[in-house]
Structures are given as structure tokens and as C-alpha cells.
Chains A and B, each alone.
Chain A
């Protein structure tokens, strides 16, 4: 196959988007599981975990950050490219559209992918500014002889502000919509489909979206209502 086609055919674009989307979906799940340590009233485990990732994994953390950035940019650029092509494919729209229901998988999530995606991207930039490049407070955990960053404190402080809580909750709901179509769609884009497999993966995809969205919505709310903000 010609190189240009491998990079730019309509099928290729979706193949790369799906790989990038699946990598990010997997990362989100790991990220959520890690963040569950915020539910622990003891700040040490979460901070030690955070310190381990950033300081005790050697070069690995740089590789992981590079890959995540690479896949996000790939996903984003192909998303814009695909979407513009899709808009151009129908210059004159219908005056009346009635969704065909029946077996169709068209949904609120599926028709808003570019918008939910764009908002998630803006969120990701702000999210890094809030935490990774946010206020740095050091402390010495029990049994340690040196200081590490108190990320737990930064998070708790951040979610005392109801505006921040609202913003995070809203974007996580949108992410849920993105994944409600994106998760199964990625499998279909890779050709992983079949009479029995497709309904199965569709259900798994929706469940995955619910777990991720509910998880990330729950954390800021829980912090707000149990750790200060609302008290």
C-alpha cells in the first residue's frame, strides 16, 4: 500500500484515532484507580504513590508522558481532519432529519464527539496547570527522612472551591458521553466486530463510560462535601 494511503485514507485515520483513544481510555482507568487513594483520610499513601510515579520510576515517567502527549496530539489532529472531511461531504444539509432508530447506534454521545473532545482537550491543559504545575507544598510523611510533595493537600484545597468542583464535574460528564460512543467505536474502527461481538463490546463500552464518568464525578463531589468546601 502506498505510504500516503497508509497515513491519510479515511480508514487509516480512524485506525490511528482508535488506537490513541484506547490508550487514553486505559490511562484514564489507571488514573481513576490511583486517585481512589484520595478517599483515604491518611494523606501518606496517595502522596507516596504520586512521589513514586514522578521520582522513583527513572526514565519510565518521561516515556509515559511522551507517549500520552503523542497519542493525544495524534487523536486531536486526526479528529479535526476527519471532522472537516465529514462536514465537507454534505455541503447541503437536510431540512428534516429523523434518526432511523431500529439497530442504529447513533446517540447524543456519537453526534457530539468533536465538541465533547474539544472541551476535554481544554480541560486537560487546565488540569495540568491546576495540579502538575500547580502549587507545590512539601512535607515529611511518617517514617520518612526527606520531604516529598503534598499533592493530597493541593487537591483538597482545590476542591474547596465550588466553581472548581462544578467545572470538573461538568467536563467529566462530557467525557462520559465521549466514551459512551468512543469506547465501542474504537473496536469497530479496528475491524474488531462481529454478529455476537458487536453487541457485547457496545455494552462493555457504555459500562466503561459510566464507570469512568461516575468515578471522576464522584471524587470532587466527595472531597467537597466531606473535606471542608461545603462544611
Chain B
């Protein structure tokens, strides 16, 4: 059965580059297939814009299946759109009503300067990673499977933490533009595993210092991050980061 096509009104944030002032521009997209993804709808709009010789809307994306962490916009006031546990590329047009106006804004934070339109520069997160989101290299052959026992609960929790794709939605949703959930996930992931323990104190200290350096806010425990995180990473990650930090304080 043919599904009813939607008419969608958009208010999209257009900004030439980091230094110019941006503004909202309204567009209407007709005949939107409800099974389209949100980004496909933007593709359709961009094709129309190109045909009319206008600048297409710039937005980040890559895998379009919720695993790479490249996409990210604030859709109708919520990072990654209205449903929890999703990336922007997971958003489907059937989640909107026919004739609805959708407001699309970039992730906003001092640490995430706009590159163009909806694309923002999230390299601040990479610089935090470079301060300790790794274990120092160990050379040699592949170790014997059971030579380094990891308790099953730790392995599970470390895996949950490792699910972070570095999309930055936690920063975007946080009233303080804090990166605590991202850093919490990275610190927790390695702190839970024996391979990460030796450098745990140094890691949390350096990553937190870099996080502050980048101009992210402090965590006020509002918990918006957890609610928008596409990987549903719990704020207990932030709790663990703080425990690791307290340990490091007394070192």
C-alpha cells in the first residue's frame, strides 16, 4: 500500500562560516516519503537547491546507520531528534506529522565552532582522546586468551562504555555544554579493564584538564546527556570518572 506523502516545513540554521552571523531560513519539502530518513529528506531538499543554483545545506554524516558518530543536529530542540537512543541519521520522517514545521540547528557549544550551516568542528573531542583515550602500546605476540582474566561484569560494562561513538550529542544537549558524559565514557571504558589500570590516574587527570582547556562547561547532573545519547550511556559513567579523579587527586 502506498503511504501518504508528507509536506514538511523546515527552519534550518544557515551560517557561512565560524566568523559570520547565522540565521534561520525556511524551506518547504513536498512529497516526502515517510520511510525516508531525515538526512535523505535533506538530500532531496539539497538537490532542489542545487537545481535552483542555491547553496546546498551543509551537514555532517557518513555511515548513515548509527555507528560512526559523524551526524548530529538539534532537531526540534532535542539533540539527535525526538526519540531517545538514536543518531540523527536514524531519525525517520514518519516520526513527524504532515505539515509540521521542523526546526534544525547545529550542536551549539563554544568548544564546537560552526564550520558551515549544520556542520560543527568537534575536534575538541579528539584532542581530549589524544590525552589519554588509549593504553600505551605493548609490543609482542597476541597474548594467551586467559592470561589476563577480566570479570564478566567489568567486561560488559566496559563494552557499554566503549559504545560511545564520539558524536557530541551529550555536549549539545547539556545546558552547560559539558563533555562529562563523553569523557566519563572514555575514562570508564579503560578504567574497568586490567589493561587500563596502570595509567588510570594519569589518564583521568590529563583528559579532564584538556576538557576544561577546550571550554566545555561543568557537569550539573541534569542528565540530559544520558537521555539523548544514541548509545544510551548512563551518567554512572560520570560517577566513575569522578571516583577515578578523586583517586588521582590523592596520588
Instruction: Identify the A interface with B (CB < 8 A).
Output: 1, 5-6, 9-15, 82, 85-86, 88-106, 110-111, 113, 181, 184-185, 188-195, 198
Cβ–Cβ contact A85 & B222, under 8 A: no
Q: Which of chain A's residues have a CB closer than 8 A to the CB of B227?
A: 100-104
Cβ–Cβ contact A191 & B222, under 8 A: no
Cβ–Cβ contact A111 & B222, under 8 A: yes
Quick one: which of B78, B241, B242 has the most chain A CB within 10 A? B242
B27 at the interface (CB under 8 A from A): no
Pairs A–B under 8 Å by Cβ, sample size 14: A10-B216, A11-B218, A85-B176, A89-B215, A94-B105, A96-B74, A98-B77, A102-B84, A103-B84, A110-B220, A181-B221, A189-B219, A191-B246, A194-B239
B160 to chain A, nearest CB (A): 10
B182 at the interface (CB under 8 A from A): no
Cβ–Cβ contact A193 & B239, under 8 A: yes
- Nearest residue in A to B21 (C-beta to C-beta)? A92
In the complex, which of the residues A1, A82, A92 contacts B248, with contact meaning CB atoms closer than 8 Å? Answer: A1
Q: Which of chain B's residues have a CB closer than 8 A to the CB of A102?
A: 84, 226-227
B56 at the interface (CB under 8 A from A): no
Quick one: which of B110, B176, B220 has the most chain A CB within 10 A? B220
Cβ–Cβ contact A10 & B211, under 8 A: yes
A1-B205, A104-B223, A191-B245 as given contacts; A89 in contact with B217, CB under 8 Å: yes
Cβ–Cβ contact A9 & B208, under 8 A: yes
Ranked 9 nearest A-B pairs via Cβ: A193-B239, A98-B77, A191-B242, A89-B217, A100-B227, A105-B223, A191-B243, A86-B176, A104-B227
**Interface with A: B30-38, B42-50, B230-238, which one?**
B230-238
B238 to chain A, nearest CB (A): 7
B108 at the interface (CB under 8 A from A): yes
In the complex, which of the residues A1, A98, A103, A195 contacts B76, with contact meaning CB atoms closer than 8 Å? Answer: A98
Q: A10-B211, A89-B109 are in contact. List 10 more A-B contacts (CB 8 A).
A: A11-B218, A12-B249, A13-B218, A96-B74, A98-B76, A98-B82, A99-B224, A100-B224, A103-B84, A190-B246
Once the chains are docked, how many angstroms separate the CA of A192 from the CA of B84? Answer: 25
